[in-house]
Structure 1
Amino acid sequence: MTDSSASPSGVRIQLDHVSKVYPGSTQPAVDDVSLDIPAGEVVVFVGPSGCGKTTTMRMINRLSEPTSGKILIGDKDALSIKPTELRRSIGYSIQQAGLFPHMTIRQNVGLVPGLLKWDRKRIADRVDELLDLVGLDPGQYADRYPRQLSGGQQQRVGVARALAADPPVLLMDEPFGAVDPITRSSLQDELLRLQSELGKTIVFVTHDFGEAVKLGDRIAVLGPKSAVLQYDAPQVILSNPADDTVAGFVGSGASLRQLGLLRVKDVELRPHPSVHVDDDVESVRNVLADSEFDWVVVLDSRDRPVSWVRESRLAHAADVASVAESLDVVSTQSTLEDALEAILAEQHASAVVTGSGNRYAGVVTLDTLIDAITRLRDEALAHTPAGEAVP
């Protein structure tokens, strides 16, 4: 769920009684769908495989032509615009990035601006700007080929390419579905950060309800033929699912899932001692001696957390790096659900948090999350009519 501080650069999208019947089929793949997608919001289509959610999204940029109905993008009828012209004005990001393997990263990101006849300097400047925006150093990555990047890095490039011509609308078809869970969470955080700066209108397709809760300003829960079962804010769907089918998507433990509605930036971070990786062992021991803790966060030269060290391993250590242990971090854009997963995975029972520039910001503890769950439950009870149970 976004908290955009930017003025929306996106535009409203309206689907008005849109249907799709494939040639040779007697049954529609999408049947009479109407949706109003506000400018500058992230709207997530979630539903089971084969329900038509991808087809519905692809009709917005006419990669799948509607059989009937009307689609407005801003104040323009999408069906009155040439398909190639329409697609160049709408960003599109798919699973496994869809990069051209024979092109460098610079060429991939600059593809649409090139088709739009931007001059070379403008394209080069835009590519550098976008790579930096998605967390990839242009000097390090621009001249590489996709095969030389990790899956998560390729997805970042895919998002950069989709944003290259500064489109008002971004369509994303399960873009993070093919990466590991830790990378996926990081990419979700990055998308939320970008959206807070850019204010695009984003239509995002997923089968993962947890991802929908994390990313969506609104969620459209779709059934067969893209029937809209419920279209509302995540907190409304979590607390008041429209029917048993929607309740099945929400699943058990809805109170716990509401941790996906809160960001790490919404709770108070606890300070925790930190050192730098090139500090000598004696100074690290002194830091710990002056604190109540038996472990310390290790930072690099740019104050980014890279590892942690427990006091018991410092007794005979020659340097900090030799006894440092790997560390998974969450960002201030992460959800409290992400933080809980990190806490349960770490031996020090805390989640280390990064803020602006991926710099160390503090830690979140289990006590903080328990307080947040209690507060969410109290709020739910306060808004629940007498006699109804809180999920």
Structure 2
Amino acid sequence: MTVADQTAEDDAVSGVEIQLEQVTKRYPGQKEPAVADFTMTVPAGKIVIFVGPSGCGKTTTMRMINRLIEPTSGRITIGGEDALSLNPDELRRKIGYAIQQAGLFPHFTVSQNIAVVPGLLGWDKKKIEDRVEEMMDLVGLDPAQFRDRYPRQLSGGQQQRVGVARALAADPPVLLMDEPFGAVDPITRGNLQDELLRLQTELRKTIVFVTHDFDEAVKLGDKIAVLGNSSTILQYDTPDAILANPADDTVAGFVGAGASLKQLTLLRVRDVEVKNEALTAGVDEQIADVREKLAKQRIPYVLVLDQRRRPVRWAHRRDLTAATSLATAGRPLGDVVSTQSTLQDALEAMLAEGGAVPVTGSRGEYVGTIDLDTVMNTIQQLRAEHGDES
């Protein structure tokens, strides 16, 4: 990387460095501190994951950054500014916060929920409206469809997207995430993880993310802090370094068996060959034209794309015999993966779908398909490189 490239990369980072120095939290009546002498630097523009068993102090540590929990002692700086010297409310308005089950205000609409912090900061009405629309589009929710809905009218995954949009609405440099995807089903969870990684490539925030799921930590983290009792740092390193060389038996327990296969969570779909063998058709195309294309190419299926070129359905040629529109022909897609998805996500999606799955780009647009042969060849290469540890 040249000096110019490095400068451009640094300029693209909107996050700031966080430093915690000997941060301790003691609760009255408890012999041991909840957090003891915690010292760490969270790099600007990176995702750092706190992972550890329940009760180890990881959430307490994270909440001391925005002073939802006040530290007993120690020093916290955010972008070089002493967080403990600021008014707590002012501090929290500079830090996005996303939690499990979204924590949305039930009596507010989606747009009102997203507008909360900009409103507290005194933004004018037009600026807030524009920002709400921008954030909804960014997290993949059509403003026209979802703006006026209430949280109860949304799925769990949609609620979490609104929660992330609200946390980012005022463009804070730091985002804290406390097991934000823990309450949704596995497929939705994987999609939300992909969405977060996609957003991070655009926004480059500093993100501190708490989870008890090591696989999630490996997928999302630029660095992982494996924590023990009282938030003791057992190992703080990159995911690949922790997978290759766990610091001790406790960390090895988090890594678990099959470390070579866990390398699939380090590789993204963008790292392997995405094929362009599927026939695609816009949802408004004529049935007769699509049937002619299928016959000419001698393939059985067409992938139907919506007006924004997002994959929505698979249709077999026999489905087109009686169909009047591609909008209803065939079956809705059960699962897709994005270029941000891991190869483990892709493998799980293929097993669920029974074959190749569509791959989408940064805005959900179709870019190709990935098949089982591609993933299996990659697994064989990894096992050859690392030995059969599975």
| Common fold by TM > 0.5 | yes
In structure 2, the residue matched to 1:24 is 29
1:58 and 1:258 mapped to 2: Cα distance? 31
In structure 2, the residue matched to 1:273 is 279
In structure 2, the residue matched to 1:351 is 357
Question: What is the Cα deviation at residue 284 of structure 1?
Answer: 3.7
- Do the aligned partners of 2:47 and 2:223 also contact (CA within 8 Å) in 1? yes
Which stretches in structure 2 are left out of the alignment for 5+ residues? Answer: 1-7
- Do the aligned partners of 1:317 and 1:323 also contact (CA within 8 Å) in 2? no
Query: What do the CA deviations read for 1:280-305 (whole angstroms, capped 9, x no partner)?
Result: 55544433334464333222233221
In structure 2, the residue matched to 1:251 is 256
Query: What do the CA deviations read for 1:369-391 (whole angstroms, capped 9, x no partner)?
Result: 1222234345547xxxxxxx867
Amino acid paired to 1:134: V
Q: Secondary structure at the match of 1:370?
A: helix
Number of residue pairs the alignment of both structures matches: 379
Task: Choose which of 3, 13, 17 in structure 2 pairs with 1:12.
Answer: 17
Q: Secondary structure at the match of 1:59?
A: helix
Task: Choose which of 371, 379, 383 in structure 2 pairs with 1:365.
Answer: 371
1:205 and 1:222 mapped to 2: Cα distance? 11
In structure 1, the residue matched to 2:124 is 119
1:76 and 1:316 mapped to 2: Cα distance? 67
1:293 and 1:266 mapped to 2: Cα distance? 27
- Alignment of structure 1 residues 127-276 onto 2, 5 Å: 127-271=132-276, 272-276=278-282
Query: What do the CA deviations read for 1:90-135 (whole angstroms, capped 9, x no partner)?
Result: 1101011111111222221111122122222222222221112111
Q: Does 1:300 align with 2:306?
A: yes
In structure 2, the residue matched to 1:338 is 345
- Do the aligned partners of 1:9 and 1:198 also contact (CA within 8 Å) in 2? yes
2:215 and 2:127 mapped to 1: Cα distance? 39
Q: Does 1:70 align with 2:100?
A: no
Q: CA RMSD in A?
A: 2.1
Q: Secondary structure at the match of 1:194?
A: helix
- Do the aligned partners of 1:285 and 1:314 also contact (CA within 8 Å) in 2? no
Question: What is the Cα deviation at residue 179 of structure 1?
Answer: 1.1
Amino acid paired to 1:309: A
Amino acid paired to 2:306: D
Q: Secondary structure at the match of 1:229?
A: strand
Q: Secondary structure at the match of 1:136?
A: coil
Q: Does 1:33 align with 2:57?
A: no
TM-score normalised per structure 1: 0.91
Q: Secondary structure at the match of 2:101?
A: coil
- Do the aligned partners of 1:306 and 1:327 also contact (CA within 8 Å) in 2? no
In structure 1, the residue matched to 2:295 is 289
Amino acid paired to 2:162: V
1:306 and 1:58 mapped to 2: Cα distance? 40
Percent identity between the aligned chains? Answer: 65
- Do the aligned partners of 2:269 and 2:340 also contact (CA within 8 Å) in 1? yes
2:289 and 2:218 mapped to 1: Cα distance? 44
Question: What is the Cα deviation at residue 266 of structure 1?
Answer: 1.3
1:96 and 1:154 mapped to 2: Cα distance? 7
| Shift in alpha-carbon separation, 1:317–1:199, aligned structure 2, 3 A | same
Question: What is the Cα deviation at residue 233 of structure 1?
Answer: 0.5
Amino acid paired to 1:207: H
- Do the aligned partners of 1:21 and 1:27 also contact (CA within 8 Å) in 2? yes
Question: What is the Cα deviation at residue 139 of structure 1?
Answer: 2.6
1:293 and 1:373 mapped to 2: Cα distance? 28
- Do the aligned partners of 1:30 and 1:56 also contact (CA within 8 Å) in 2? yes
- Do the aligned partners of 1:270 and 1:364 also contact (CA within 8 Å) in 2? yes
332-341 vs 110-119, which moves further: 110-119
Q: Secondary structure at the match of 2:363?
A: helix
2:15 and 2:287 mapped to 1: Cα distance? 52
2:291 and 2:112 mapped to 1: Cα distance? 50
TM-score normalised per structure 2: 0.91
Q: Secondary structure at the match of 2:90?
A: helix
Query: What do the CA deviations read for 1:52-104 (whole angstroms, capped 9, x no partner)?
Result: 11001001011111112111111111111111111111110101111111122
Query: What do the CA deviations read for 1:28-64 (whole angstroms, capped 9, x no partner)?
Result: 1111211111000000111111111100100101111
- Do the aligned partners of 2:140 and 2:363 also contact (CA within 8 Å) in 1? no
82-91 vs 293-302, which moves further: 293-302
2:330 and 2:128 mapped to 1: Cα distance? 46
Amino acid paired to 2:46: E
Q: Secondary structure at the match of 2:294?
A: helix
Question: What is the Cα deviation at residue 322 of structure 1?
Answer: 4.3
